[in-house]
Structures are given as C-alpha cells and as structure tokens.
Amino acid sequence: MSNFIAPVAAWCAAIIEAIGIGTITLFALYSLLNAATKLLKKADGDSIFHELRQLLGRGILLGLEFLIASDIIYTVAVELTFQTIGVLAIVVLIRTFLSLTLEVEMSGKWPWQERR
C-alpha cells in the first residue's frame, strides 16, 4: 500500500507547493499592477503604499499556508524519519512565526485581540 501512497503523496505535495509559489507570485504581480494603475490615476501615495502592503501580505500569508501543507504531506507520507520530522517542525515553526508577524503587521493587532 505504501508503494502506492508515497508517489501519490509526493505528487500532491509538489502540486500544492507549486500552488503556494504561484499564489505568492500572482499576488505580488497583481499588487504591483494595482499600485501602478492607481499611481497613473493620481491616487494618494500613502493609500497606494498601504493597499500594496496589504495585498502583498495577504498573498504571502496564503502562499505560506500552502507551502506548510505541502511540507506536512511530503514529510508524513513520503519521508517519515525523526530527522525529517525535526526539520518539518523547525520549518513549520519559522513559517508560523512569519505568518504571525505578517498578520500583526497587516492588521496592527495580535490575532487573539478583539477588533478595534
């Protein structure tokens, strides 16, 4: 059974990883295009910068979630050793920290705080 599951899980992990990379890339391009369009329309520079950061931050957060899912699938289904679990734990910890700090940067509050 694992002879069937491991290759399928590896393919699924690769597809989800590509979706994560694509999500970050597309959000970055969309954010830049949106900002350029607003600059040409002579919008306020501060609001353009704020919206650019918000869109880009959301794209990075969403892409990171896909990348974490990909790492979990690959490690658990394909390469399950103590070493890979340790590496996965460190990677998930780093990406979770990045997600948390991006969320705080975008919203201006901790996720557990009430809305202002």
Which residue is associated with the tokens 């399928």? 8
Least Cα distance to 57 among 110, 106, 90 occurs for: 106
Q: Residue 32: what pLDDT?
A: 95
pLDDT more than 90, % of the chain: 36
Yes or no: say if 109 and 116 are a contact pair by the CB < 8 Å rule.
yes
Give the span between the Cα atoms of 19 and 89, in whole angstroms.
Answer: 21
Most distant CA pair in the chain, distance: 61
Give the sign of the dihedral formed by CA 67, CA 71, CA 72, CA 77.
Answer: positive
The pTM score is 0.79
Distance CA 17, CA 99 (A): 17
Mean pLDDT across the chain? 87
The string of pLDDT tens digits covering residues 40-86 is 888 888 888 888 988 998 899 899 899 999 989 988 888 888 898 89
Q: Is the pLDDT of residue 1 over 60?
A: no
